[in-house]
Amino acid sequence: MPFSGNCHSFDSSTLDSSTLKALNDVGMVYGLFKEDLPFRPDHYTCLFVGQTNNLRARLLEHYSNRSIAGVTHFFAETSATEQQQKLREKELIAEFNPSGNKN
């Protein structure tokens, strides 16, 4: 099942927004995506799936250290426990098979 959260732009204004600041201490599973332009607008390819207890800080790390090239958007969803985060992360990695999660 794909991400249940909304799509957000992966840029500095979004990463500094009050929405992300409010999510700082919430357990989240997130995905980094690139938009498939110009051929498939509003369609995204998953590049990386991760989990964190501070979404804003983790996304800022990704933004500052661009080890995953081409990221334009991210999705995120909350999880009640760390165990649920890890399980959901594994499900999403199996579903999307993102290049950034391959060893």
pTM confidence score: 0.86
pLDDT tens column, 17-27: 777 776 677 78
The answer to whether residue 10 scores a pLDDT higher than 80 is: yes
For residue 49, the model assigns a pLDDT of 97
Q: Which range (4-18, 24-38, 56-70) has the least confidence? A: 4-18
The answer to whether residue 40 scores a pLDDT higher than 80 is: no
Sheet containing 40-52, strands listed edge to edge, beginning at the edge strand earlier in sequence: 7-9, 73-78, 28-36, 40-52
Q: Return phi, psi of residue 40, to 5°.
A: -135, 75
Query: H or E element: which one contains 61?
Result: helix 55-64
For residue 32, the model assigns a pLDDT of 95
For residue 98, the model assigns a pLDDT of 96
Which domains, ranges and CATH numbers included, belong to the chain?
7-101 (3.40.1440.10)
